[in-house]
Structure 1
Amino acid sequence: MSAVVEATDLEKRYGETVALSGASLAVDAGEVFGLIGPNGAGKTTLVRALTGTTEPDSGAARVLGEAPTAIDRDRLGVLPQAFSPPDRLSARELLAYYAGLYDDPRDPDAVLADVGLADDGDTWYEDLSGGQQRRVCVGSALVNDPDVLFLDEPTTGIDPAGRRTVWRLIEDLAAGGTTVLLTTHDMAEAERLADRVGLLTDGSLVAQGTPDALVAEHGGSSRLTVETAADLEAFDDLEHPVERVERGRRGTPDGAVVVREIEPAEIAAVVDSLEARDIEYTGLSWAEPDLEDVYLALADRTELERTDRVGGSDGGDESADDLAQAGETA
């Protein structure tokens, strides 16, 4: 089966700034491909190269077997990261406007229902909440019933219930054969929606695979977090690696103790050990590795290096994506 979306060794520079550095991927028909990575990694530039709004310096991009600029636009749906439709149109009028750009569009009211705004069609865009506005924007990418859908951070600013509405919609579209490439900073979103995930850092895809495969390879071990001020020596009798968390992440308090490579059945032994030593603790939590652990393992080092550069700027690739978003090089 030939890929529906293909990028081969894409390179893109904006002056001295490298946006893409040999990025390659392939997405099959009906597949949802999630693109993750730090701010400024080149995700928006890659999406623009694949949709024909940015011309790469070298390499090749193909969608539906053609160059992005040669595709029948009725077959393509695109939601940019930054999208500001006219404020003084209602949600229904906006979707009707975008529907009018295509030969065989969907009914705007049906699209409103799909994005959970069936009761808000007459509300001016400027009077909608930020999350509702974003859902209208998602709808604008669907009015032509595209075969291939590009979504650049589709659920930014949408509340949890609305986010799940959009997730179900994307799942239904993929089940119906639509090919979807989406970018996101929400690891739960990527883990739920994506058949495969690609991690982009510094303009290159450094890892690709199913969420489960990436977690198995890069996610590390299960862990028990113990919120305690006790010294690490208090855990010396445990047959598990133990470390102090100096910089808390994902809700883990600074200074907590993490016991690695531990299964749920072994937690009682840790508790018994703490109580036998009269060690006080304020909380226990056990977790298996997930896609966020993969992201942190592969991208966090790059992010730290970027912020530690001279002048404290992480601007290299972020500036590149800002230029791409502004359409500096079409």
Structure 2
Amino acid sequence: MEAVVEATDLERTYGETVALARASLTVERGEVFGLIGPNGAGKTTLVRALTGTTEPDAGSARVLGTEPSAVDRDRLGVLPQDFSPPDRLTARELIDYYAGLYDDARDPDDVLAAVGLADADDTWYENLSGGQQRRACVGSILVNDPDVLFLDEPTTGIDPAGRRTIWTLVEDLAAEGTTVVLTTHDMAEAEHLADRVGLLADGQIVAQGSPEELVATHGGSSRLTIETTADPDAFADLEYPVERAATRRRSTNTDAVIVRDVTPAEIGTVVDYLEARDLEYTGLTWAEPDLEDVYLALADDAERERTTSADDRTPTETATAGETA
């Protein structure tokens, strides 16, 4: 396969802040690469380095075989997270304006239809809903029919129906050979769209692979969530690992326990255990590990490593760091 986007050991600092620390990735033609990570992990800086709007301190980047700043702009589409067009342009005027910047632009009507704004084409940007505004922004970077798309949080503020429209659009573009690099905090979005995902933490890509590979390696075990006020100690003789549900996990609450490594066929065994011991419960939910579990596990690991590194510094080092922060 042909590498279209490459980053090799990219480094970038802003004063004492390390934004990128030897970050590396490769994206092939027609691939959707999802970049995930905590706020401040360096995702936007990495995208800027790959699009030529930020110069790295060290390392190298190449897009379409050349340095990012030298790429033919007709072949790129870049959607920043904070892109804000003029309020007093209609959706059509916005798309027409960007289409006018290129010699061989797509038909604005096709673009408006593709992002689901055909019926709102005469509405001023300021009067569009938040989701419609974001779709208009996505449309503005598609008018040149780019070979490579960089999307920084493309569905921020978009309602579920609009999000599905953008997802379908990205899938169609990739099927036609467009290479897509997107950042997102939506793990469902990354899992749905990305052929491969890279998790960025503290300026480094600490893991990458297909969502399935990452879940298999880092996602942990299946979990059966039992909504009950019973303490985990009440499950001492159950043959499966049991823990109190953590409040950080979605679809759980503090009045619940999690039973690990239970297959769907074994749920009945747990129910029999509950009933035999008169343990009251109000609901059962079984789930396989997903990309959110991977994110939480790896982000926690990176945070612990950073905290440990800070704790291991000498008093002099700690004092110096405090003085320069």
Measured against the shorter chain, the TM-score band is: over 0.9
The offset of 1:284, in angstroms, is 0.8
Contact kept in structure 2, 1:247 and 1:255, CA below 8 Å: no
The offset of 1:305, in angstroms, is 8.1
Contact kept in structure 2, 1:248 and 1:255, CA below 8 Å: no
Q: Tell me: CA distance 1:280–1:32, structure 2 relative to 1, closer, same or farther (3 Å).
A: same
Correspondences of 1:181-330 after superposition (within 5 Å): 181-302=181-302
The offset of 1:234, in angstroms, is 2.0
Count the aligned residue pairs: 310
Match of 2:80? 80
Q: Tell me: CA distance 1:246–1:158, structure 2 relative to 1, closer, same or farther (3 Å).
A: closer
Residue 20 of structure 2 aligns to a residue whose secondary structure is strand
Q: Tell me: CA distance 1:248–1:19, structure 2 relative to 1, closer, same or farther (3 Å).
A: closer
Separation in structure 2 between the aligned mates of residue 200 and residue 190 of structure 1, nearest angstrom: 13
If asked which structure has higher relative contact order (CA below 8 Å, sep 6+), I would say: 1
Separation in structure 1 between the aligned mates of residue 9 and residue 290 of structure 2, nearest angstrom: 29
Deviations 1:273-296 (A, max 9, x none): 111111111111000001110000
Root-mean-square deviation (CA, aligned residues, Å) is 1.7
Contact kept in structure 2, 1:10 and 1:56, CA below 8 Å: yes
The offset of 1:306, in angstroms, is 7.8
Instruction: Return structure 1 stretches of 4+ with deviation > 6 angstroms.
Output: 304-310
Separation in structure 1 between the aligned mates of residue 304 and residue 90 of structure 2, nearest angstrom: 44
Match of 1:56? 56
Normalising to structure 2: TM-score of the pair?
Answer: 0.92
Counterpart amino acid of 1:63? V
Separation in structure 1 between the aligned mates of residue 148 and residue 200 of structure 2, nearest angstrom: 21
Match of 1:172? 172
Separation in structure 1 between the aligned mates of residue 130 and residue 222 of structure 2, nearest angstrom: 37
Separation in structure 2 between the aligned mates of residue 208 and residue 136 of structure 1, nearest angstrom: 31
Q: Tell me: CA distance 1:185–1:246, structure 2 relative to 1, closer, same or farther (3 Å).
A: closer
The offset of 1:146, in angstroms, is 0.1
Separation in structure 2 between the aligned mates of residue 155 and residue 167 of structure 1, nearest angstrom: 9
The offset of 1:245, in angstroms, is 2.2
Residue 22 of structure 2 aligns to a residue whose secondary structure is strand
Counterpart amino acid of 1:273? Y
Separation in structure 2 between the aligned mates of residue 57 and residue 298 of structure 1, nearest angstrom: 26
Separation in structure 1 between the aligned mates of residue 261 and residue 183 of structure 2, nearest angstrom: 31
Residue 237 of structure 2 aligns to a residue whose secondary structure is coil
Residue 212 of structure 2 aligns to a residue whose secondary structure is helix
The offset of 1:303, in angstroms, is 5.2
The offset of 1:254, in angstroms, is 1.6
Counterpart amino acid of 1:57? D
Normalising to structure 1: TM-score of the pair?
Answer: 0.91
Contact kept in structure 1, 2:246 and 2:252, CA below 8 Å: no
The percentage of counterpart residues that share the same residue type is 78
Q: Tell me: CA distance 1:306–1:83, structure 2 relative to 1, closer, same or farther (3 Å).
A: farther
Match of 1:138? 138
Q: Tell me: CA distance 1:306–1:88, structure 2 relative to 1, closer, same or farther (3 Å).
A: farther
Separation in structure 1 between the aligned mates of residue 8 and residue 304 of structure 2, nearest angstrom: 28
Structure 1, gaps ≥5 residues long: 311-330
Separation in structure 2 between the aligned mates of residue 287 and residue 181 of structure 1, nearest angstrom: 29
Separation in structure 1 between the aligned mates of residue 125 and residue 246 of structure 2, nearest angstrom: 45
The offset of 1:246, in angstroms, is 4.3
Bigger shift: residues 212-221 or 229-238: 229-238
Matched, 1:71 2:95: no
Deviations 1:219-252 (A, max 9, x none): 0000101111112232122211111124342121
Residue 234 of structure 2 aligns to a residue whose secondary structure is helix
Separation in structure 2 between the aligned mates of residue 231 and residue 42 of structure 1, nearest angstrom: 41
Structure 2, gaps ≥5 residues long: 312-325
Contact kept in structure 2, 1:246 and 1:255, CA below 8 Å: no
